[in-house]
Structure 1
Amino acid sequence: MDLQIKKGINGFEPMKFKARLVAKGYTQNEGIYFKEVFSPVVRHASIRVILAITAVQDMELDQLDVKTAFLHGRLEEEILMSQPEGYEFPGKEDNTIKDGLYIYLLLYIDDMLVACKDREEIDKLKVLLNSEFEMKDLGYAKKILGMEIRRNRSKGIMFLSQEKYLRKVLETFDMSKAKPLQLPLASHFRLSNLQCPQTEAQKQGMASVPYANAVGCLMYVMVLTRPDIAHVVSVVSRYMAQPGEDHWKAVKWILRRRSLTGYLFMLNGCAVNWKATLQSVVALSTTEAEYTAATEAVKEALWLKGLVTELGLNQKNEVSRGAVKMVKIHTDENLADAFTKVIPVAKFRAYLDLAGLCSQ
C-alpha cells in the first residue's frame, strides 16, 4: 500500500491523503498476468485539440474525478451489442449528433474533462455519470495531467501552463536562482558520443549526476506544453546511457530559462501537436530526409483530420485534394527549423509567436 499527501490545485487548498491499494497482489503470477493492468487514457494531442475548440467556440469546460477508477482491458473477441435504449431516432439510428450539439468527454484514467456549448447538457451528463459511478464534481476546469488551465473567455483565449511544476524542477536541481537565458540551447554546444566518459574516473564523477531525472522532467514538460524545447530535449536524450560533463552542461542550459523529424500542427491558432525526433532510417540525401519528415507529418495530419471530423469539424488534409502542398520555403522564413536545429534568437522569437507560446 502506498500513502501520499495530495496538494490542492492552487497550492492553498486543504491537503488530502492519497492511497493506492492492490487487492490480493500476492495472487498475481510473474509472466502470466503480473503486469497486465490497463486504464483508459486520452492522447495529449487530443486534449489540446479539445481545449483549442473549447476556447474558440466559447464552450463550457468542467472537470470531474472518478473516486473509484474504473479499468477496462482490451477485448480480443468480436463483440456484438444493440444500440442503447432510448437513443433511437427514426432515420438517424447511426448518428451520434443530436441537433448539431456535441458533448466532448476526455478521460485519463480517473480524471475527466467535459466540454459543451450548453451548460444544461453538461449538468445532465453529470447526473448520468453519478448514477453509474461515484464522481466528484470539480467545477470549472483548472488543471489536467499537471497542465494548469487559465482562460479569458471574453477574448477567446486559453493558456496552458506548467509553471508550478517547472519551479519545483528548478528547485530540485538547484537551478531556481540561475540566470535565465533566451534560447533553449546555444550554438556553441556540439554534443556527440565523443563527450561521453572515457575513463573510470570520469564515469564515477558522472555517476552522482541526476542526468536521467533532469532529462525526464524536461521531456514531460515538452510533451505537454513546451514545443519550444522539443529539439534540444531530443538531442540531450540521446546520451541517457552514458552522459558526459558537456551533456550535463547542456541540460543545465535548458533549465536556465524563465519558462522553460519535427512538425507542428495548429488548430484555430493553437499549437495542438508537435514532434522532434531522430529519423528511424538513414537518409542518403537531404531530399530523402525531407520526404521522410513530410511523410510522418502527413500521417499525423490524417490522424488529426480523423479526430476533428469525429469532433464535428470538417478539415481536409490530403495532398491529392490540394490541401497539402509541397512548396519551397526560404531558410529565413522556415520556422520548422526550431524542431531540427539550434536557431538565432530573432528566428526563435518568431517561432514562439507562431506557436502561441508566451511568458505569463
Structure 2
Amino acid sequence: MLNGTNFSDWKEQVEFHLGVLDLDIALHEFEKSLVPIDTSKCFKTADKSLAGTLMAKLTTMKFDGMRGIQEHVLEMTNLAAQLKTLGMNVDEFFLVQFILNSLPPQYGPFQINYNTMKDKWNLNQLANMLNQEEARLKQLEQHSVHLEFLSIQTINPNENFMLMGNRVRASIEAIVWDLIELPEGYKKVGCKWVYKTKHDSKGNIERFKARLVAKGFTQKGGFDYKETFSPVSKKDSLRIIMALVAHYDLELYQMDVSGSKFIFLILYVDDILLASSDLGILHETKKFLSKNFEMKDMDDITYVIGIEIFRDRSRGILGLSQKVYIERVLETFKMENCSTSVAPIRKGDKFNLMQCPQNELERKQMEGIPYASAVGSLMYAQTCTRPDISFAVDMLGRYQHNPGIDHWKAAKKVMRYLQGTKDFMLTFRRSDSLEVIGYSDSDFAGCIDSRKSTFGYLFMLVGGAISWKSAKQTIIASSTMEAEFVACFEATVHGLWLRNFISRLGIVDYVSKPLRIYCYI
C-alpha cells in the first residue's frame, strides 16, 4: 500500500504483478490459438517404413561368425517379434527358413541334413541343433580337419565367373527354357548359384561344378505348388541297374552333363550312367548326348556320388563300396583310430525320451556334441550301401531334436561298427535265376515312448540287396500278429513298385510273376 514514503517499493511491486498478469494472459491466448493436429497418419507412415526396414534386414541378414550362432538366432527372432508388434506376423516356418538361409557355406551339410528330414524343426529345436553344429565346426577348425564339403572359397572368383558363364551358355544352346511374361496372379521364385568341388575315390579334386538353383523355400506346399520333381534317380533304381549289369555283364560308362540290344540311362542331377548290352549303341548314345548337350566323357565308371564300383567280369561280380566315405566320416568325428564293435546295436539296447536332457546342465553338455551331423552322415551310408545299420540309424534319427548322452554313445557305437566293417561291399553276382525275393519282419511295441512297433523289409536280386527300410509303424498294433501284418503290407507295397519298375525296363520278362516275400513271425 502506498503511504507517501514507500513509492519506490510500491512501484516495483505493481510492475511485477502487472508483468505476471500479462504473461498469464499471453499464455491463455496462445492456448486458445492451438489447432489440434491428427498424428495417426504420421505414425502409420512411420510404422510401414519401419516394418519394411525390419523385413529387409530379416531376409538379408547373414551370419558372419563374429559372434555366436545363438546370438545370431536371437537377433533374428527379435526382429520377427518387432514385426509382429507392427502387425506383420512372420510364421515360424518362414523364420526357420530365413535363419537357415543366413548361414555361411560351412553349414552346407547341416542344411542338407535338414532338407532330407520329413519332420521339420521348430525354432527351439533349430537353435539347439545349430549350437551343436557350431561346436562341431569349431572342433574341426581347431584340429585342422579337411572336410569333404568345400564351398565357394575353394575356387577363385574368376573361375566361379567362368563356371557360371559356361553353365548359362550350355543352357541357352540346349534351349532348356522359354522366356515369357510373368502371368497375373503368380509370383517369381528367386535363384542362386551353388558351387561344389567334386573328388575322385582317393579324395583328389576332380573338377569344379556350378549350378543355378531355385529358392524353393520361398514357396509353401499346397499353396504355391502341389507337385515336386527332382532330376535324381532313387538309390533303389541305381542298385537294380547295378544288379542287372552284373547279371548280364553289361558295359558301364559315366558321363557328366555340362540277346537284344538295349541301353539304360541313369540320371543323378548332372551325372549320367550308361549301361548297355552293345558297345555300338553305347557309343551312338554318347555321340547323341554330346551333340545336344555339353558333356564330359568319364569312360569306365569306378566312382559316383560317393560310391566306389568294383567289377570282376570274369566271375560276373559287381561290388558297391563306401569305404572312402566311411573313412572320411570317421576322421571328421575323430573316430579314425577307434576300436571296433561287433554290431551297430545289441539286443536289449533301448532308447526313450527319458534319456534326453532333463535339466540345463545336461543340455549344456550336449551343445558341444555334433549329434545331428553324425546321424546325417550315417544316414547317407545306410541309404546307399549299408542295410546292416538301417535299424540303428532309424532309432538314432528319432531323437535328433533333443539327443542325450546315451544317444551319442549309441551313434559312436555305430561308427565303431563301421570302422570294423568299412571294407564290406554290397555285391551282385551273375545268377542262373533272375528273381526278386523279399523279407519282412517287425518287433512288438518296441518304442517305449509311443508303444508303436518297428518294421523292416529287404529285397534281394542276383544275390545282393537292392532295397531296404526300417521305420516305426504309424499305428499302435494290439498284437504281434497285427504288427507282422503291417510289416508285410509295407513290404508288399514296395514290392509292387519294384516289380513295376523292373518290368518296364523291358528285359526281365518273368519278374511279373508273383513276388516271394518271406514274413518272419
Structure 2 unaligned regions, length at least 5? 1-104, 106-150, 155-196, 423-454
Question: Contact 1:3–1:19 at 8 Å: present in 2 too?
Answer: no
Shift of 1:225: 0.4
**Please, what TM-score do these two structures have when normalized by structure 2?**
0.52
The residue aligned with 1:245 is: 405
Distance 2:397 2:518 in 1: 31
Q: Which moved more, 1:260-269 or 1:130-139?
A: 260-269
Give CA deviations for 1:273-308 in whole Å, capped at 9, x if unaligned: 000111111111111111111011111111111111
Distance 1:49 1:276 in 2: 19
Give CA deviations for 1:313-341 in whole Å, capped at 9, x if unaligned: 124467xx5x4466766xxxxxxxxxxxx
SS at match of 2:152: strand
Distance 1:274 1:44 in 2: 10
Distance 2:519 2:353 in 1: 35
* Closer, same or farther: CA 202–279 of 1 in aligned 2, 3 Å: same
Distance 2:467 2:255 in 1: 24
Shift of 1:145: 1.8
Distance 2:458 2:228 in 1: 33
- Structure with higher RCO (Cα < 8 A, 6+ apart): 1
SS at match of 1:56: helix
Identity %: 40
1:201 aligns with 2:201: no
Letter of the 2:249 counterpart: D
* Closer, same or farther: CA 289–33 of 1 in aligned 2, 3 Å: closer
1:165 aligns with 2:325: yes
Aligned length: 292
Residue 509 of structure 2, aligned match among 301, 311, 314: 314
Shift of 1:226: 0.2
Residue 483 of structure 2, aligned match among 275, 289, 304: 289
The residue aligned with 1:232 is: 392
SS at match of 1:158: strand
Give CA deviations for 1:207-246 in whole Å, capped at 9, x if unaligned: 1111100001011100000000001111111111111111
1:3 aligns with 2:130: no
Distance 1:328 1:143 in 2: 36
1:52 aligns with 2:214: no
Shift of 1:186: 2.6
Return the structure number with greater helix share: 2
Residue 259 of structure 1, aligned match among 398, 406, 421: 421
Letter of the 1:307 counterpart: F
* Closer, same or farther: CA 172–274 of 1 in aligned 2, 3 Å: same
* Closer, same or farther: CA 252–317 of 1 in aligned 2, 3 Å: farther
SS at match of 1:277: strand
**Please, what TM-score do these two structures have when normalized by structure 1?**
0.74
Shift of 1:30: 6.1
The residue aligned with 2:339 is: 179
SS at match of 1:299: helix
Give CA deviations for 1:15-56 in whole Å, capped at 9, x if unaligned: 544344569x8xx9766979x995411111000000000011
The residue aligned with 1:277 is: 471
Letter of the 2:202 counterpart: G
Distance 1:149 1:194 in 2: 43
| Bigger Cα Rg | 2
Give CA deviations for 1:246-289 in whole Å, capped at 9, x if unaligned: 11100001100223521110111111000011111111111111
Shift of 1:4: 5.8
Distance 1:12 1:287 in 2: 49
The residue aligned with 2:277 is: 117
Residue 304 of structure 1, aligned match among 498, 501, 504: 498
SS at match of 2:409: helix
Distance 1:177 1:314 in 2: 49
Distance 2:483 2:213 in 1: 48
Distance 1:241 1:29 in 2: 24
Question: CA RMSD, aligned part only?
Answer: 2.7
* Closer, same or farther: CA 118–219 of 1 in aligned 2, 3 Å: same
Residue 216 of structure 1, aligned match among 353, 376, 393: 376
SS at match of 2:398: helix
Letter of the 2:366 counterpart: M
